[in-house]
């Protein structure tokens, strides 16, 4: 059997143009666009999450878009299982897998493996918090280092949340986090064998795109989507409500704000999120090929050149 071509990974902040690049490459390379965005999986959100339109999906095969109910809590573990199946189907068809999205954790799990944290009983968590409060951070960290030096050497000992997790794991399982990490399954995609691209336009251009896209979303029916999701009466903790602008538009529909105010808040939240995603890219995707043009055609040309050079 012929080995399938190496996958292409395309990441980047919201409104950066990564989906357009993925579609262009899919058309050019006989590829499949596979979703790596935690919110584009929800059926109820097409406009508000900038999910590829029906016309765009007709131009090339797309997988893992809009296939989950907003009532469901989707997870990175579930996504990995679905991606594994999608990659197998793609390989069977001899197509190029193109994974695209803005959820950095998905790409991290895809290329590094997913650590399944062991469950911790509530009483152990409460005891750990009480011990940290009684001893103070430094003394608590010292106890962890004495019991589990391997984990202590690999975590941020100044971070209370990391300390608590290390202590809780020891108490709940009798083993340190490092021992559990060692049993993490290998990643689905070897990053050294994948073509990795991250699309990050200049900040001013990115922010302008965020604002313009939200205006376009309103024109395309985002408010109707918000109305339909509001009718589901989801709990406030529902992951589907993390869609940028969802809470602002629902607040408007409830009479808590005007539409102009809701749009302003949603645009600010979108720009803030784009900034956080850009920081993630800068810190976590150092070895990825960086595409920074504001025009999709320029990024396509550069990506194609890199793919040809590395073939």
pLDDT in tens, 262-307: 999 999 999 999 999 999 999 999 999 999 998 889 999 999 999 9
pLDDT digits (tens, 9 = 90+) for 4-38: 789 999 999 999 999 999 999 999 999 999 999 99
pLDDT band at 161 (very low <50, low <70, confident <90, very high): very high
pLDDT digits (tens, 9 = 90+) for 110-121: 999 998 888 899
For residue 199, pLDDT over 60 is answered with yes
pLDDT of residue 118: 87
Structural domain 8-113+187-310, CATH architecture: 3-Layer(aba) Sandwich (3.40)
pLDDT digits (tens, 9 = 90+) for 51-93: 999 999 999 999 999 999 999 989 999 999 999 999 999 999 9
- Are 52 and 24 spatial neighbours (Cβ–Cβ below 8 Å)? no
| % of the chain residues with pLDDT over 90 | 92
Q: How confident is the prediction for the chain on average, in pLDDT? A: 95
pLDDT band at 3 (very low <50, low <70, confident <90, very high): confident
**Residue predicted with more confidence, 142 or 311:** 142
**Taking residues 181-203, what's their average pLDDT?**
93
pLDDT of residue 1: 52
pLDDT digits (tens, 9 = 90+) for 210-230: 999 999 999 999 999 999 999
pLDDT of residue 234: 97
- CATH number, domain 122-182, options 1.10.20.140, 1.10.3720.10, 1.10.1740.110, 1.10.238.10: 1.10.20.140
pLDDT of residue 154: 92
pLDDT of residue 210: 98
For residue 158, pLDDT over 70 is answered with yes
pLDDT of residue 294: 87
pLDDT of residue 52: 97
pLDDT of residue 19: 96
The domain locations on the chain are 8-113+187-310, 122-182
Number of Cβ within 10 Å of residue 82's Cβ equals: 18
Spatial separation of the C-alpha atoms in residues 280 and 121, rounded to whole Å: 32
Least confident of 46-60, 180-194, 249-263: 180-194
**The 3-state secondary structure of the chain, one letter per residue:** CCCCCCCEEEECCCCCCHHHHHHHHHHHHCEEEEECCCCCCECCCCCCCCCCCHHHHHHCCEECCCCECCCCCCCHHHHHHHHHHHHHHHHHCCCEEEEEECCHHHHHHHHHCCCCCCCCCHHHHHHHHHHHHHHCHHHHHHHHHHHCHHHHCCCCCCCHHHHHHHHHHHHHHCCCHHHHHHCCCCCCCCHHHCEEEEECCCHHHHHHHHHHHHHHHHHHCHHHHHHHHHCCCCCCCCHHHHCCCHHHHHHHHCCCCCHHHHHHHHHHHHHHHHHHHHHHHHHHCCCCEEECCCCHHHHHHHHHHHHHHHC
pLDDT of residue 310: 81
For residue 2, pLDDT over 80 is answered with no
Strand bridging mode 31-35 / 62-63: parallel
């Amino acid at each position: 059997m012929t080995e399938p071509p190496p996958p292409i990974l395309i990441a980047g902040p919201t409104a950066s143009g990564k989906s357009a690049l993925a579609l262009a490459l899919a058309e050019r390379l006989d590829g499949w666009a596979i979703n790596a965005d935690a919110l584009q999986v929800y059926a109820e959100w097409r406009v508000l999450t900038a999910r590829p339109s029906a016309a765009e999906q007709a131009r090339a095969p797309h997988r893992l878009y809009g296939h989950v109910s907003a009532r469901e809590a989707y997870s990175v573990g579930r996504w990995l299982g679905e991606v594994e199946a999608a990659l197998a189907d793609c390989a069977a068809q001899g197509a190029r897998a193109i994974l695209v999205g803005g959820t950095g954790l998905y790409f991290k799990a895809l290329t590094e493996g997913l650590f399944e944290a062991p469950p911790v009983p509530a009483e152990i968590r409460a005891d750990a918090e009480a011990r940290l409060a009684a001893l103070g951070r430094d003394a608590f960290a010292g106890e962890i280092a004495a019991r589990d030096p391997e984990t202590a050497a690999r975590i941020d000992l100044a971070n209370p949340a990391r300390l608590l997790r290390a202590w809780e794991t020891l108490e709940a399982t009798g083993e340190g986090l490092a021992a559990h990490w060692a049993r993490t399954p290998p990643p689905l995609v070897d990053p050294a064998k994948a073509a990795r691209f991250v699309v990050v336009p200049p900040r001013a251009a990115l922010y302008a795109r965020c604002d313009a896209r939200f205006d376009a979303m309103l024109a395309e029916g985002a408010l109707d989507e918000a109305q339909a999701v509001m009718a589901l009466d989801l709990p406030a903790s529902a992951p589907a409500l993390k869609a940028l602008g969802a809470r602002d538009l629902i607040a408007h529909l409830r009479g808590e704000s005007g539409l102009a105010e809701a749009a302003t808040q949603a645009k600010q939240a979108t720009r803030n999120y784009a900034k956080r995603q850009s920081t993630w890219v800068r810190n976590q995707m150092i070895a990825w090929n960086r595409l920074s043009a504001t025009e999709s055609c320029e990024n396509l040309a550069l990506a194609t050149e890199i793919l040809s050079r590395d073939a």
